[in-house]
Amino acid sequence: MMVRQIRSWVLRLAGLFNNERRDRELAEELEAHLQMHIDDNLRSGMTREEARRDAHIKLGSVDGTKEKVRDQRGFPFILNLIRNFRHSLRMMRRSPAFTAVAVITLALGIGATTAIFSVVYATLFESLPYPKAEQLVMVWSQSSQGRRPVSSGDYLEWKRRSRSFQHLEAWGGATFNVATADRPEQVQAALMTSDFFRMTGMPMWLGRDFLPEEGEVGKDRVVIMTHRLWSQHFGADQGIIGRQIRMNGESYTVIGVTPPGMRDRQHSQLMLPLAFKPEQVSHQARSFLVMGRLKDGVSLEQANAEMQTIARQLAEEFPQTNANWAASVEPLQNNFIPEKTIKNLWLLLGAVGFLLLIACVNIANLLLARATTRHREVAIRAALGATRAELFAQFLIESLVLAALGGALGVFLGRVIIDGILAILPLQMLPSEADVRISIPVLLVTLLATTFAGLLFGCAPAWQSSRLGLNEVLKQGGRTGSGGEGGGLRRALVVVEFALALTLLAGGGLALRSFWNLTSLDLGVNTRNVLTFSLPIPQSRFKETERISPYYRQLLERVESVPGVEVATVTTGLPLRGTGLRRPFRISGMPPADPGGQQSAGFQMVTPGYFETFGIRLIKGRTFTEHDTADGARVAMINETLANQYFSGTDPLTQRIVVNQPIPGAAQGGTEVECQIVGVFHNTRGGDGLRGSDSPVIYVPFWQSPWPRASIAVRSAGDPELITRNLAAAVNSVDPDTPLAGVRTMDQMLSETLSFDRFGTVLYGSFAVLALLLAAIGIYGVMAFGVAQRTQEFGIRMALGAGGGEILRLVLREGVSLAVLGLLFGLGGAYLVGRAMQSNLYGVSALDLPAFIVVGVVLLATALVACYFPARRASRVDPMVALRAE
């Protein structure tokens, strides 16, 4: 039976084609039938006329039969579909303006959704671009404070004792000064144990990966570079493999280049083998990251259990360093994405979903309005025998065709939006594996969203039209009614739309206000015309502390003599970035404020020009001078917070402070130095995207406490970037080997500091603007249509004495009351959005009334403007024309 069914379908499918011949044959067959009948009738004695008549009556409608045979021949369902599809295209061609608005509206919604979803998909769902990626795990040291990097001693013990892993590899960070074609360049590098690339299974673009023996001390002078570094600084030279390059003054052989893509998105652009010298192995310094590949068939739980056992053994064997330290094995996927980023991604997806919903509501509204003008068409089709299901299907197909067009344009728009997002995406916000693009799964979701959208906005007019009272419509003749029940549905949709729009606008408003709060913060510094850079001086450079000060004095002199430089400074920390060091201190002659804990403060060494360079305001006393040298009395300056916290009753300038100062070149320990407080300065902002709270800070003169690694900052008369080259030349005249690292103006640094906030603000802001636009189109469409339909009513009102002003107010009142109703519903949504966004906001509460009032007013004003044009048209109706027209 199955076979017969299939055979029958195949024949019927074939029946969709070559219909002309079949029609001709059918006509012949029916003609023969008729003739035979007539022949028989003649034989039974009828006249020719009677015979014909009888045969025709008996056999019924020839055309009806043909129609039925045709249905049986092909699939009436498919034929209908094709017919409806053609009809839809015809309808679209006939109203290009409507089609354009609907398609663009939908394309905006679909495009934004596709773009944000592609970010979410690439970040959270797409499997990592490694073979058997599910076997890759991160192994962390665990203390009571959470996960931590791993010490070299622990890593080597783990690798020796564990049985769960095919590979267990470690890597750490380093910085190298690389001699490139034009000038020395500072590059971040990763030092990785030699099997790292074999573990991940990442192939090389050029050359080869590390050999196992290159992980031994003495054989490790080889380097792999990323595609990005290779093309930016080595001219994408194919012959680079085997070449020697100079890094930190020593010679390394280039053995490989990684493929473009993932590695290029990481900070470290060089990869070198990590070789542990026996004297470097310690259980103390936890600075390495450890990744492993599980053996086939070993589960995460088994690996975790084994690592717990090993961690317990180590805790017993090395109680000094490893007591209370455990270990954990975690999947690599999503291991480096902070909870907050994941939450933010979902929030963005939610916001963009709202946008799509608004777009759908909008199109539903437009379609509903247009369907009203097609009541007569529908009624006539119904009268000619179209069933309700057929009418429903026709309207649905029209929406799906519209949706398909919008979806196609939306995918295109999505690509544009993705490019925009990637341009403002803060570096390192997403894991480097995340390759944001329109992939097949993204396309599938877009297709799904499009279909869903088409069904969603198609159902309303389809449902409405399929249950039209046939008789009423036809009886009405040409008379258009006053809206009818469809008008109610349309108004409800406008209310929904405004509620959704307010929710999105509130999100945008909150993000904007938070960003405004951040940018209008008093940073305590003047960021204009200040350029900073650091000097990555190798650890081994200054064996004797005495050589540090002369080196920097000479540098500073040369830098200050560069034309355009007004003032310059050497400092160990930078405003916005933080002090860099944190040291314990106490106040002479006073017990520690908190006897149990140790009080500490941010600690920074600066030369006298620091305050003038950054425009930091002095509150009390004096700044450092050229007399505060190693020979002079020890002095210090403190910030406002420290002064307020510790010297509320006394004058700080009369006090002395004891600071534990670090020893240059030594990893630990320090010397206690007692300093006279000579000045109090205004707080400066730093850290955590400007959200950091004001904490105590101590400055001491750089010349009294020299430090090998420092930054230099200059204030220039004009745009400081113009003199970068001269500054580099000045530095190189003193020290030809050291590059300028991290060259930034303070304005750039400020902009980088705010990049996360800017990203969110731009996205939420654009969604809000789009939502506003769509809501405006929506309410305009409904009001304009309503006015057009009620021309006659307005004519009567005016004929009865209503003035133009009254009509204007009548229409405006209707439109605005819809908007207000929507706003009231939207307030609830806005509050929820505020709650969800709370952790991203600065200085804004979830229920931020000023922001809500502003967006409410903006929405209302938009509604007013959108309603004004139809209202004016209504008020200018000429009663005579309106009444005569019908």
Partner 1 sequence: MSDTSDVWRGTLAIMVLKTLEVMGALHGYGIARRIEQTSGDLLSINYGTLYPALLKLEQEGFVACEWGHSENNRKAKYYKLTRAGRKRLEKEEREWEQTISILARFLLPEEKLS
Residues that bind partner 1 (CB under 8 A): 4, 7-8, 11-12, 25-26, 28-30, 32-33, 35-37, 39-40, 58-62, 64-65, 68-69, 71-73
Using an 8 Å Cβ cutoff, are 170 and 330 in contact?
A: no
* Sequence letter at residue 570: V
CB 75 to partner 1: min, Å: 12
Q: Buried b / exposed e across 402-427, counting CB within 10 Å, b at 16+?
A: bbbbbbebbbebbbebbeebeeebee
Least distance from C-beta 30 to partner 1, angstroms?
6
Q: Which is nearer to partner 1, 80 or 341 (CB)?
A: 80
Which one, of 617, 524, 606, lies nearest residue 569 by Cα? 606
Between 59 and 217, name the residue whose CB sits nearer to partner 1. 59
> What are the phi and psi torsion angles at 560 (to 5°)?
-70, -20
Q: For residues 838 and 845, what is the distance between their CA atoms, to the nearest angstrom? A: 7
Task: Report the distance separating Cα 292 and Cα 276, nearest Å.
Answer: 18
Instruction: Name, in order, each residue with C-beta under 8 angstroms of 339's C-beta and a sequence gap of 6 or more.
Output: none
Q: Which is nearer to partner 1, 41 or 613 (CB)?
A: 41
Closer to partner 1 at the Cβ: 73 or 583? Answer: 73
Tell me how far, at minimum, the Cβ of 37 lies from partner 1, in Å: 6
Quote the least distance from Cβ 477 to partner 1, whole Å.
34
Q: How many beta carbons lie within 10 A of that of residue 346, not counting itself?
A: 13
- Cβ–Cβ < 8 Å for 869, 782: no
In the DSSP assignment, the letter for residue 387 is -
Least distance CB 19 / partner 1 (angstroms)? 13
Selection from 420, 409, 414 nearest residue 107 by Cα: 409
Phi-psi region of 578 (alpha: psi -120 to 50; beta: other; left: phi over 0): left
Cβ atoms < 10 Å from Cβ of 9: 12
**Gap between the Cα atoms of 776 and 769, Å rounded:** 11
Contact at 8 Å (CB) between 754 and 515?
yes
Of 63, 40, 62, 61, residue with least CA distance to 50: 40
Query: Do residues 866 and 780 touch, judged by C-beta distance below 8 A?
Result: yes
Q: Which is nearer to partner 1, 68 or 148 (CB)?
A: 68
621: alpha, beta or left? (left if phi > 0; alpha if psi -120 to 50): left
The nearer residue to partner 1, 11 or 82, going by C-beta atoms, is 11
Beta carbon nearer to partner 1, 35 or 598:
35
Q: Which CB sits closer to partner 1, 67 or 472?
A: 67
311 touches 147 (CB < 8 A): no
Do 549 and 630 contact (CB within 8 A), yes or no?
yes
**Residue 64: partners with Cβ closer than 8 Å, 6 or more residues away:** none
Q: Which residues 6+ apart lie within 8 Å of 593 measured at CB?
A: 599, 646
Q: How far is the CB of 470 from partner 1 (least distance, A)?
A: 21
At its nearest, how many Å lie between partner 1 and the CB of residue 4? 5
Task: Give whichever of 9 and 869 is closer to partner 1, judged by the CB atom.
Answer: 9
Minimal distance, residue 390 CB to partner 1, in Å: 16
Burial class for 875, CB neighbours closer than 10 Å (0-12, 13-18, 19+):
buried
* Shortest CB 59 distance to partner 1, Å: 5
Pairwise CA distance, residues 365 & 491, whole Å: 9
If the CB atoms of residues 74 and 826 are measured against partner 1, the closer one turns out to be 74
What's the min distance (Å) between Cβ of 3 and partner 1?
A: 9
36 versus 323: smaller Cβ distance to partner 1: 36
Q: Which residue has the tokens 């939420």?
A: 764
Nearest to partner 1 of 50, 522 (CB atom): 50
Contact between 290 and 140 (Cβ < 8 Å): yes
**Of 62 and 281, CB closest to partner 1:** 62
Separation between Cα atoms, residue 463 and residue 449, nearest integer Å: 21
The nearest distance, CB 25 to partner 1, in angstroms, is 7
For residue 786, give the 3-state DSSP assignment. helix
Q: How do 184-192 and 270-273 pair as beta strands?
A: parallel
Q: How far apart are CA 754 and CA 750, in angstroms?
A: 6
Rounded Cα–Cα distance for residues 677 and 674 (Å)? 10
Q: How far is the CB of 81 from partner 1 (least distance, A)?
A: 21
User: What's the min distance (Å) between Cβ of 18 and partner 1?
Assistant: 15
Name the one residue in this structure whose structure tokens are 């709270």.
693
Q: Which is nearer to partner 1, 30 or 342 (CB)?
A: 30
Distance in Å, CB of 384 to partner 1, minimum? 18
Closest CB 47 distance from partner 1, rounded Å: 19
Residue carrying the six token digits 């295109």: 412
Which residue, 61 or 650, has its beta carbon nearer to partner 1?
61
- The least CB distance from residue 83 to partner 1, in Å, is 20
Output 14 or 422, the one with its CB closest to partner 1: 14
Q: Which residue number, 35 or 650, has a Cβ lying nearer to partner 1?
A: 35
Q: Give the Cα separation of 435 and 121 in Å (integer).
A: 9
Nearest to 624 by CA among 641, 605, 645: 605
| d(C-alpha 672, C-alpha 586), whole Å | 10
Tokens coding 493:
């949709």
The gap between the terminal CA atoms of the chain, to the nearest Å, is 61
**Which is closer to partner 1, CB of 78 or CB of 100?**
78
Other beta carbons within 10 angstroms of residue 92's beta carbon come to 18
Spatial CA neighbour of 794 closest among 692, 872, 710: 872
Give the shortest CB-1-to-partner 1 separation in angstroms: 10
Nearest-approach distance from CB 382 to partner 1, in angstroms: 19
